[in-house]
Amino acid sequence: MKKAVFLDRDGVIIEDSGYIENIEDVKFFPFTMEVLKKLKEHYELFIVTNQSGIGRGLITEEGVERVHAYILDELRKNDIHIKELYCCPHINEDKCICKKPNPYFLLEAEKKYNIDIKNSFVIGDHPSDVEFGFSVGATGIYVLTGHGEKHLSELKHRELIFDSLKETAEWILEGNKTEN
Ligand SMILES: [Mg+2]
Ligand SMILES: [Zn+2]
């Protein structure tokens, strides 16, 4: 079984610039490439993103696909291969099964790629990202980049908070994993 890191997109690997559909609006954090290069040595990498802007009609599915193709391409140029990018386009009213914190995509990855979820990590800047991880026994980690600062008070699991993906990866790679 393989361990994995499930990365939120906005506010974790790129700046949260709202609902974007143009590649000019993709801004990687300065540390993203370096950090993912290190993580990929030990973990399979996934991206899981809620893009309810599609469901709200603010951005198009094609636009989001364009942004995702660009992100994956830029990562690939740095020899970083994302196993799969999962995107939920829905709004809450759709009552879909895939919107985080629903663990649907985690369970998909577990089955499809034989991922050891209990020894995997989920990183995000919304409380729902952390819930998404903990709900199936992965370790959810909250970062203060993106919307992290803003939603900090809504967080239920407060034990694992880092400034950014950079500090999170350093901690993960040190092998400091809590037991529950
Ligand atoms: Mg986010
Ligand atoms: Zn969905």
Query: Confidence class of residue 159 from pLDDT cuts 50, 70 and 90?
Result: confident
- The radius of gyration of the chain from alpha carbons, rounded to an integer in Å, stands at 15
Looking at residue 158, its pLDDT comes to 77
- What are residue 171's phi and psi, to 5 degrees? -65, -45
Residues making up the annotated binding site are 8, 10, 88, 90, 96, 98, 125
- Mean per-residue pLDDT, 145-172: 94
DSSP class of residue 23 equals G
Does residue 142 contact residue 165 with C-beta atoms inside 8 Å?
no
Task: Look at residue 177 and tell me whether its pLDDT is greater than 80.
Answer: no
Q: Are 39 and 173 in contact (CB under 8 A)?
A: yes
Higher pLDDT, 145 or 159: 145
Of the ligands numbered here, which is closest to the C-alpha atom of 49? 1
Contact 39, 172 (CB under 8 A): yes
The alpha carbon of 89 and the centre of ligand 1 are apart by a number of angstroms equal to: 14
- Give me the pLDDT at residue 157, please: 78
SS3 for 91? coil
Q: How far is CA 30 from the centre of its chain?
A: 17
Under the banding of pLDDT at 50, 70 and 90, the label for residue 156 is confident
Query: For 21-39, what is each residue's pLDDT tens digit?
Result: 999 999 999 999 999 999 9
Which residues lie near ion ligand 1 (Cβ < 5 Å)?
A: 8, 10-11, 125, 146
Q: Is the pLDDT of residue 179 over 50?
A: no
pLDDT at residue 176 in the model: 59
Can you say which residues are annotated as belonging to the binding site for Mg(2+)?
A: 8, 10, 125
Which ligand has its closest atom nearest to the C-alpha of 11?
1
Angle CA 134–135–138, to nearest 5? 40
pLDDT for residue 178 is more than 60: no
User: How many A from CA of 134 to the centre of ligand 1?
Assistant: 17
What residues are designated binding site for Zn(2+)? 88, 90, 96, 98
Closest ligand, as measured to the CA of 124: 1
Q: Which residues have a Cβ under 8 Å from the Cβ of 11 and sit 6 or more positions away?
A: 124, 125, 126, 143, 145, 146, 147, 148
Distance of CA 76 to the CA centre of its chain: 17
Per-residue pLDDT tens over the stretch 109-151: 999 999 999 999 999 999 999 999 999 999 999 999 999 999 9
What positions carry a catalytic annotation?
8, 10
**Domain ranges, ordered by start, for the chain:** 4-119+130-173
Which pLDDT tens digit goes with each residue over 50-99?
999 999 999 999 999 999 999 999 999 999 999 999 999 999 999 999 99
Kindly give the distance from the C-alpha atom of residue 60 to the centroid of ligand 2, in angstroms, as a whole number: 15
Cα 176–chain centre separation: 20
Q: How far is the CA of 125 from the centre of ligand 1 (A)?
A: 5
Nearest Cα neighbor of 20 from 69, 54, 55 is 54
List, in sequence order, every residue forming a beta bridge with 4; answer none if it has no partner.
Answer: 44
Its CATH architecture, for the domain 4-119+130-173, is: 3-Layer(aba) Sandwich (3.40)
Q: Return d(Cα 34, Cα 52) in angstroms, integer.
A: 29
